[in-house]
Amino acid sequence: MTGQLTLQSATLKPWHTLGFDVKAKGVVEVFSEVDIHQILAFAKQYDLPVLPLGEGSNTIFSSDFAGIVMRVCLKGRRVEQGNDGQLVVYGAAGENWHSFVRWTIDQGASGLENLSLIPGTVGASPIQNIGAYGVEVKDVIDWVRYIDIASGEVIQLKASDCAFAYRDSIFKQQLRDQIVITEVAFRLSSNFTPNLSYIGLQDSHAKTALQLSDYIVKVREAKLPDPQHLGNVGSFFKNPIISEDHYQVLKENFPNLVAYFVGGGCWKLAAGWLIDQCGFKGIRKGKVGVYKHQALVLVHYGEGHVEDLLSLAWDIQQQVWLRFSVRMEIEPRIYPQ
């Protein structure tokens, strides 16, 4: 734990990638489970809510936070040999996600390469069930270790008990705001079998996990803004999932509709395409806007207000609904809610 925590208003501007100047009652960094228990005891004494935060790359502060923001900085990573080429890889919650992915590749472990360059931390990855290029992190998680905020109990939850779904999990639903993730274990492989199911990855001609990771990094850099230079939280909306009947109606009216069959009589629509069709791609409204290379990304140019970004998001939701009868769900977590 760095310094002495005091109940003094602190800006959250440096601690979330949108960079809005919102405040919290206090901000503290924790480097161990002991630190976490101390902060939880302090918060309980003053009857304050606690918000664990990684790199803030998937968080929107809609207003000041009337509690303590706990920046989870736990470090540590290790790998153990399993059976039949399986490797169990452990990552502390505060490890940078992309650095962790590249480290696993250096260790001869494959399975995370499709998730290269996703902003955030290891501890945040199961909350959102991060996914990209045909892979979701739930596919390789073994278990998640966390501390219950109310009781202080340390719990290890198997992946099968995490209620993983598309950009969703038990940590985003039933356990939202109730736990602090401290470590995640992954089941990876020493045998590289490339997942090239996503359209376009076949062009990578990757023969190693590193080559596939490098290719995905280039693709992401070409179409997504670096949050260190332009405030954003990556994909702002989930790709909507609709019924077969709804899909057929849209396909008839919009022959160029971008959609993917996901089974169970459902189709996943490309949210970026929907937004683009409504004329929002590249639009700027004051200090916020929609990224010129990817309509799914809303951006903050600096010195703006979060209300402006949420107003723009609302406009997008309204227009997509009016044109396509599709509800657009915001992907990042919003605090307070």
Residues acting as catalytic residues: 167, 235, 331
CA distances to 23, 73, 150, 176 from 43, rounded to whole Å, are 17, 18, 10, 17
Residue found under tokens 């069709």: 277
Helix residue ranges per DSSP H, 182-243: 209-223
* 135-136 and 141-148 beta bridge pairing: unpaired
Tokens linked to 129: 């069930």
Give the C-alpha separation, 217 to 222, whole Å.
9
What is the spatial distance between Cα 137 and Cα 128, in angstroms, rounded to a whole number?
9
Which spans in the chain are helix H?
33-45, 97-106, 125-128, 209-223, 244-253, 271-277, 306-324
- 3-state SS, residue 158: strand
**Residues 167/202, Cβ–Cβ less than 8 Å:** no
- Please state at what angle helix 97-106 crosses helix 209-223, rounded to 10 degrees: 160
In the beta sheet, which residues pair with residue 268? 241, 260
Strand partners, 289: 284, 299
Q: What is the rounded CA–CA span in Å between residue 11 and residue 30?
A: 18
Q: What are phi and psi of 10, to 5 degrees?
A: -130, 140
The amino acid occupying position 298 is L
Phi, psi for residue 116 in degrees, rounded to 5: -65, 145
